[in-house]
């Protein structure tokens, strides 16, 4: 007789669903842009190219580790291009690709929605929290 039934079946469902989710383009994209630093980097780069140290200063609170990590993954995804200029102090520039520009446009849409509706969200929160108090 089976020592596992419900647990195994649920585990199975979880794995399958996980695969489904990961294969969904929307979720892949959400996973990507949801990263805390991604939108900031894309936003920072949208006016034009920037050096590593410039980004590091503009984004302020980011650690070298996270900045590099973010930059690398965005480069891998074709969102931005990395250009190394071999000099005595090495110079590295980051620049949005056309795909990156397109993404920054989408982000602008998100930003627009956020600015239009965030107040409603805040009001809803206050109502909700007020009820919780009473």
Which residues bind to a second copy, rule: CB under 8 A?
10, 13-18, 21, 25-31, 33-36, 39-40, 59-61, 63, 75-79, 99, 102-103, 106-107, 109-111, 113-115, 117-118, 120-121, 123-125, 127-129
73 phi and psi angles, rounded to 5 deg:
-70, -35
Among 71, 74, 79, 96, binds DNA (CB under 7 A): 71
What element of type H or E holds 32?
A: helix 25-34
What does the DSSP 8-state code read for residue 49? -
Residues 76-95, interacting with DNA (CB under 7 A): 82, 89-92
Is residue 127 at the binding interface for DNA, with CB under 7 A as the rule? no
Type and span of the H or E element at 21: helix 6-23
**What burial letters (b/e) apply to 15-45, b meaning 16+ CB within 10 Å?**
eeeeeeeeeeeeeeeeeeeebebbbbbbebb
99 binds, among a second copy, DNA, none (CB under 5 to 8 A by kind): a second copy
Task: List residues near DNA by CB under 7 A.
Answer: 7, 10-11, 14, 35-37, 51-54, 56, 61-66, 68-69, 71-72, 82, 89-92
């Amino acid at each position: 007789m089976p020592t596992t039934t419900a647990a195994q079946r649920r585990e199975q469902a979880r794995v399958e669903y996980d695969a489904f989710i990961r294969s969904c383009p929307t979720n892949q994209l959400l996973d990507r842009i949801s990263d805390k630093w991604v939108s900031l980097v894309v936003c920072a780069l949208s006016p034009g190219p920037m050096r590593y140290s410039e980004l590091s200063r503009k984004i302020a609170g980011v650690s070298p580790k996270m900045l590099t990590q973010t930059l690398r993954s965005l480069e891998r995804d074709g969102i931005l291009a990395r250009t190394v200029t071999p000099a005595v102090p090495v110079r590295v520039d980051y620049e949005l690709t056309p795909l990156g520009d397109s993404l920054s446009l989408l982000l602008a849409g998100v930003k627009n929605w956020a600015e239009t509706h965030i107040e409603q969200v805040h009001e809803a929160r206050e109502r909700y929290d007020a009820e919780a108090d009473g």
